[in-house]
A and B are shown apart, each in its own frame.
Chain A
Amino acid sequence: MGPHTHLPVTLSVNGSRFPLLIEPRRTLLDALRHDLALTGTKKVCDAGDCGACTVIVDGRAVYACLLLAVDCDDRDITTIEGLAKGNALDPVQEAFIQHDAFQCGFCTSGQIMSLRALLDANPEPSDDQILRAVTGNLCRCGAYLNILKAGRLAADMQRQAAADV
């Protein structure tokens, strides 16, 4: 194998598998945005300082900008594009709309993915746990108060939906 060879990797994103041949230095974020044209995940700092590129990998919220795509072979990846089922929004998305939890929308995918990962692990989070879940997600529009409210509402909606089944 020569230096800097492109390596084969299969990304499993939102239930579909994508075989790719990429440079090792390519981050998961660039692979998603560029190679898979899944541009809902945003690049803001590209250094793990802002949370905008948060996706869920194997059940945990992680920063796509700090993961090498080659390190994601066959991991289960969920992005913002994978949340809504057809026209049915995820409860977190619905709650974000109801509580005006965003303005410019650029940090929103990351906020939502962080809360999605929280609710997957902990369906009844406290306020402190909601805030902790998004503590790495910067929002310069300052929607934090409404993000907290949306987190509470999403948890309620999810519990309600579970109870209705």
Chain B
Amino acid sequence: MVLSRLVGAEVRRKEDPRLITGSSTYVDDVRIPGMAYVAMVRSPHPHANIGTIDASAAKAMPGVIAVVTGDELAEYCGPLSGAAGEGGSGEQADYEEREEEAEESPPVWPIARGTVRWVGEAVAAVVAESRYQAEDAAEAVDVNYDVLPTVTDPEEAMKDGAPQLYSMVKNNIGATWNRDHGDIEAAFRDAPVVAKARIRSQRLSAVPMETRAVLATPDPLINGITVWTSTQAPHWNRNSIADGLGLPATRVRAVAPEVGGGFGVKIGAYQEDFIVAALAFKMQRPVKWIETRSENFLATNHGRDQWADVEIAAEADGRIRGLRMHVVQDLGGFPRGTDLAELTGRMSSGCYEIPALEFRSRSVYTNKMALGAYRGAGRPEAAFYVERAIDLLADAAGLDPVDVRRRNFIAPFDDGFTTASGEKYDTGDYAKALDRAMEVANYKGLRAEQVQAREEGRYLGIGLASYVEICGFGPFESATVRVEINGDVTIYTGISPHGQGQETSFAQIVGDGLGVPMEKIGVNHGDTLNTPQGNGTMGSRGLAVGGGAVVMALDKVRDRAQAIAAHLLEAAPEDIEITQGAFRVKGVPDRGVSLEEIASKAYSDSLPAEFGAGLEATEFFRPDDETFPFGTHIAVVEVVAETGVVKLVKFVSVDDCGVIISPGLVRGQVHGGIAQGIGQALLEEIVYDDSGELVTGTLNDYAIPRAFDFPAIETHHTETRTYLNPLGAKGIGEAATIGSTPAVANAVIDALEPWGITHLDVPCTPERVWRAIRDASAGTMAAD
């Protein structure tokens, strides 16, 4: 390997200039001559049979081209293929515990046929010459509904006699995933310390700034259609849409141009991807649909939404004997997150050595929007339950939460460790991250400050969370590294970054590898026409897996360039090194050739025949297993007892994502992850009322963190390599979301210790905190 100059350095993002000037192109910025616009007619009922659809008034309105119902669309577009989700692409069944495959997955039609199952499900699509006209006409479509009984609570939905969403899904249970390890009964029998709680990981909305957006146009060049779509996984969309339309994959091109945030919810084609593509193909005219913010709240998948009954047994010194975790996952109205609870189960052991584990999960359909991946997708839930359980245990045993964690950590390992949940973690040193966080935060000092503050009637809380998570999902990722004739370098990647900045990190890697400045490197992604078969950007896999493929392709290209250089310099290939921007003979620095010269020869007929032609390579990286980043977060809050308001005073993160290539990008991911984790802990909740209406359907109701909500954050790292990919990188996209929610929640609950409060549901809104204090105070007084 050559001397690292760019890798690990603070470099400017390649993406910046186009984003800072407003000149980049997101889907809604693309315009095609003759483009028509789509607006959806959506169900106001959570569960109903569709009666007549009268579109005559709408069709007579100015500019209206067509109104299409579910049955009409079904004539030329099939149902969505199976559910999509992080790590759940189907190919990843590399663990034995997938006991019961989801009972037959119900078909989901792009536009509802017969029955609607959630408020916001599309019942018709209106195509018009302008967006204004399309929306006007959508309002004029008259749909008759025969309202059916509704079920919104997953516990209710599992009971006999509950309204059934799908005839083939008994008791609405769409998936189960269980795991048993050790003797759980023995672990709890006569355990000196037992603590338990029912813990809620509430329903969230990802709120990417850019809503979903689809533009499809007939494309004679491929005798099919091109679909611009705001997605994290263009290849998946291309394949799904081709499948839906019954076209060969060669006749569908998907393009993810600039994408304004995804956070998991833009993985996998949605109903609207199919609708817009089908309409464009059928009508042979460009068609655009831009999701409104209201639609985004209604019809883009939500995240989390689990209940967990958690029970932990331990020795008096805090050593864990056993853990029970029984999870109910709300799936909402159609399959999109059937693998979420499984991911929770796989991470249910956290950073700890747990002698006995009982994990149960049931994933249940209800009359609400579907659940799916959202930053962390199943793992934040696990970390939240485990880290709450540890604090509950510390409370019950009268121990410091730090000691309980330390006492139960898996000892440092660098060659795999198989947990109670059956996961093989790659490498880890959990105490190292905890130590670092305690040192940076001055944990002992904070505890002293807390005592002092309580004497003054101020309620500080200190919360920590030691998390481990699962990243770097396969099954593979791809990259092409191409040296152009003039020595410039183009990288094509199968991932599809949308804010993460991998154009920068890949350019750093290849720049170092070939001795080329970053300005001469272009990175292409998101277009199925020119990138090798890929998966996308999700599950914190961009660098760990996508970067792995880049390194493999780079190595091939460098070997070839080295061989050509050796030939030109009449030296042995192994004597060639890259220094000062050229391929030189070791020890003879004035004998060298530039990459440009090598490329010009590679694309000529001047080399001996056995060299062939060209200077590029395409490689596929198939990781043997997933990576497991970890870390410790510490949050400090102050609770105003009078109102229940929680102020976040300080936040320290220590994340170990393996080898860091781009420190600035990692910092950005950590900040963003913490912001969203704080959101879950303190602010955010998607609320449906019992009748299935969405209550929090605008940014006026659904609070996400603002500039003032953000505390002073100190980000730090430890670095534990993984052996699973060539870079040693584990992934950082979701880690900070996973660590921050339990840290903040534990801090709030710690602040409430004077009232004897040991658990509180998130989000810890002012009212919830105030109510807990009031109820506890009343209890205390009654006991007195």
A and B touch in the complex (CB under 8 A): yes
Chain A positions near chain B (C-beta within 8 angstroms): 23, 25-26, 33, 37-47, 49-50, 52, 79-81, 83-84, 89, 93, 96-97, 100, 102-109, 112, 131, 134-135, 137-148
B698-A49 in contact (CB<8A)? yes
Taking CB atoms, residues of chain B closer than 8 Å to A145 are 671, 710, 712-713
Q: Kindly state whether residue B104 has any CB partner on chain A within 8 Å.
A: no
Query: Shortest 10 CB-CB distances between A and B: which pairs?
Result: A40-B22, A142-B675, A106-B260, A104-B499, A105-B19, A80-B22, A49-B699, A142-B672, A106-B209, A103-B499
**Quick one: given A39-B29, A107-B209, are A140 and B704 in contact (CB under 8 Å)?**
yes
B700-A47 in contact (CB<8A)? yes
Interface centre among A40, A41, A83 (most CB of B within 10 A): A40
Taking CB atoms, residues of chain A closer than 8 Å to B18 are 105
B209-A140 in contact (CB<8A)? yes
* CA distance in complex: A127, B386 (Å): 38
Chain B positions near chain A (C-beta within 8 angstroms): 12-13, 15-26, 28-29, 31, 132, 206-211, 258-261, 263, 290, 292-293, 498-501, 664-665, 667-668, 671-676, 698-700, 704-708, 710, 712-713
* CA distance in complex: A140, B264 (Å): 13
A141-B499 in contact (CB<8A)? yes
Taking CB atoms, residues of chain B closer than 8 Å to A139 are 209, 707
* CA distance in complex: A52, B704 (Å): 14
Taking CB atoms, residues of chain B closer than 8 Å to A137 are 707
* Interface of A, helix, strand, loop or mixed by DSSP: loop
Query: Which residue on chain A has the smallest CB distance to residue B663?
Result: A100
CB distance from A110 to the nearest CB of B (A): 9
**Quick one: given A50-B209, A137-B707, are A44 and B293 in contact (CB under 8 Å)?**
yes
* CA distance in complex: A158, B704 (Å): 31
**Quick one: given A103-B672, A134-B707, A142-B672, are A93 and B21 in contact (CB under 8 Å)?**
yes
* CA distance in complex: A45, B699 (Å): 7
* CA distance in complex: A93, B16 (Å): 10
Query: Which residue on chain B has the smallest CB distance to residue A148?
Result: B707
B672-A44 in contact (CB<8A)? no
* CA distance in complex: A95, B724 (Å): 38
* CA distance in complex: A121, B585 (Å): 61
Query: Which residue on chain B has the smallest CB distance to residue A26?
Result: B132
* CA distance in complex: A46, B699 (Å): 10
CB distance from A8 to the nearest CB of B (A): 19
A97-B12 in contact (CB<8A)? yes
A100-B260 in contact (CB<8A)? no
A144-B209 in contact (CB<8A)? no
One of A26, A100, A135 near B706 (C-beta < 8 A): A135
* Interface of B, helix, strand, loop or mixed by DSSP: loop
Taking CB atoms, residues of chain A closer than 8 Å to B22 are 38-41, 79-81, 108-109
B260-A42 in contact (CB<8A)? yes
One of B13, B20, B667, B707 near A147 (C-beta < 8 A): B707
A-B contact pairs, 14 of them (CB 8 A): A38-B22, A44-B293, A46-B293, A96-B20, A100-B668, A104-B208, A104-B260, A131-B707, A135-B707, A141-B499, A141-B672, A143-B668, A144-B705, A144-B706
Taking CB atoms, residues of chain A closer than 8 Å to B672 are 103, 140-143
Taking CB atoms, residues of chain A closer than 8 Å to B674 are 142
Given A138-B706, A144-B675; 13 other pairs, CB 8 A cutoff = A39-B26, A40-B22, A42-B209, A44-B211, A47-B698, A84-B21, A93-B20, A97-B12, A103-B668, A137-B707, A141-B671, A141-B675, A148-B707
A105-B673 in contact (CB<8A)? no
Taking CB atoms, residues of chain A closer than 8 Å to B499 are 103-105, 141
Query: Which residue on chain B has the smallest CB distance to residue A51?
Result: B706
**Quick one: given A140-B209, A141-B672, A142-B671, are A108 and B19 in contact (CB under 8 Å)?**
yes
One of A46, A100, A144 near B710 (C-beta < 8 A): A144
B708-A131 in contact (CB<8A)? yes
* CA distance in complex: A112, B22 (Å): 10
* CA distance in complex: A97, B15 (Å): 10
CB distance from B128 to the nearest CB of A (A): 14
One of B21, B263, B676, B699 near A40 (C-beta < 8 A): B21
CB distance from B380 to the nearest CB of A (A): 15
* CA distance in complex: A112, B20 (Å): 8
* CA distance in complex: A109, B210 (Å): 13
A143-B671 in contact (CB<8A)? yes
Taking CB atoms, residues of chain A closer than 8 Å to B710 are 142, 144-145
CB distance from B223 to the nearest CB of A (A): 30
A46-B260 in contact (CB<8A)? no
One of A49, A89, A134, A146 near B671 (C-beta < 8 A): A146
A47-B699 in contact (CB<8A)? yes
* CA distance in complex: A37, B28 (Å): 11
**Quick one: given A45-B699, A46-B293, A142-B710, are A105 and B705 in contact (CB under 8 Å)?**
no
* CA distance in complex: A141, B707 (Å): 12
CB distance from A82 to the nearest CB of B (A): 10
* CA distance in complex: A98, B28 (Å): 28
A142-B260 in contact (CB<8A)? no
* CA distance in complex: A140, B19 (Å): 16
Query: Which residue on chain A has the smallest CB distance to residue B263?
Result: A140
CB distance from A123 to the nearest CB of B (A): 20
CB distance from A51 to the nearest CB of B (A): 9
* CA distance in complex: A94, B693 (Å): 45
B498-A100 in contact (CB<8A)? no
A105-B24 in contact (CB<8A)? yes
B699-A105 in contact (CB<8A)? no
Taking CB atoms, residues of chain B closer than 8 Å to A26 are 132
A141-B293 in contact (CB<8A)? no
Taking CB atoms, residues of chain A closer than 8 Å to B19 are 102, 105, 108
A106-B671 in contact (CB<8A)? no
Taking CB atoms, residues of chain B closer than 8 Å to A103 are 261, 499-501, 668, 672
Query: Which residue on chain A has the smallest CB distance to residue B293?
Result: A45
Query: Which residue on chain A has the smallest CB distance to residue B23?
Result: A40
* CA distance in complex: A6, B575 (Å): 75
B20-A89 in contact (CB<8A)? yes
**Quick one: given A104-B210, A145-B671, are A50 and B20 in contact (CB under 8 Å)?**
no
Taking CB atoms, residues of chain B closer than 8 Å to A23 are 132
CB distance from A132 to the nearest CB of B (A): 8
CB distance from B690 to the nearest CB of A (A): 26
Taking CB atoms, residues of chain A closer than 8 Å to B673 are 142
CB distance from A52 to the nearest CB of B (A): 6
* CA distance in complex: A112, B28 (Å): 21
CB distance from B195 to the nearest CB of A (A): 33
Taking CB atoms, residues of chain A closer than 8 Å to B700 are 47, 49
* CA distance in complex: A109, B675 (Å): 20
Interface centre among A37, A44, A146 (most CB of B within 10 A): A44
Taking CB atoms, residues of chain A closer than 8 Å to B210 are 42, 44, 104, 106
Interface centre among A38, A79, A134, A141 (most CB of B within 10 A): A141
* CA distance in complex: A89, B19 (Å): 12
Taking CB atoms, residues of chain B closer than 8 Å to A146 are 668, 671
Query: Which residue on chain A has the smallest CB distance to residue B706?
Result: A135
CB distance from B675 to the nearest CB of A (A): 3
Taking CB atoms, residues of chain A closer than 8 Å to B668 are 100, 103, 141, 143, 146
A106-B261 in contact (CB<8A)? yes
CB distance from B617 to the nearest CB of A (A): 30
Taking CB atoms, residues of chain B closer than 8 Å to A104 are 208-210, 258-261, 498-499
Query: Which residue on chain B has the smallest CB distance to residue A84?
Result: B21
B261-A108 in contact (CB<8A)? no
Taking CB atoms, residues of chain B closer than 8 Å to A47 are 293, 698-700
Taking CB atoms, residues of chain B closer than 8 Å to A44 are 209-211, 293
Taking CB atoms, residues of chain B closer than 8 Å to A38 are 22
Interface centre among A38, A50, A100 (most CB of B within 10 A): A100
Taking CB atoms, residues of chain A closer than 8 Å to B208 are 104, 106, 140
A25-B293 in contact (CB<8A)? no
Query: Which residue on chain A has the smallest CB distance to residue B206?
Result: A140
CB distance from B703 to the nearest CB of A (A): 10
* CA distance in complex: A37, B26 (Å): 13
* CA distance in complex: A89, B704 (Å): 31
One of A83, A93, A138 near B699 (C-beta < 8 A): A138
CB distance from A153 to the nearest CB of B (A): 14
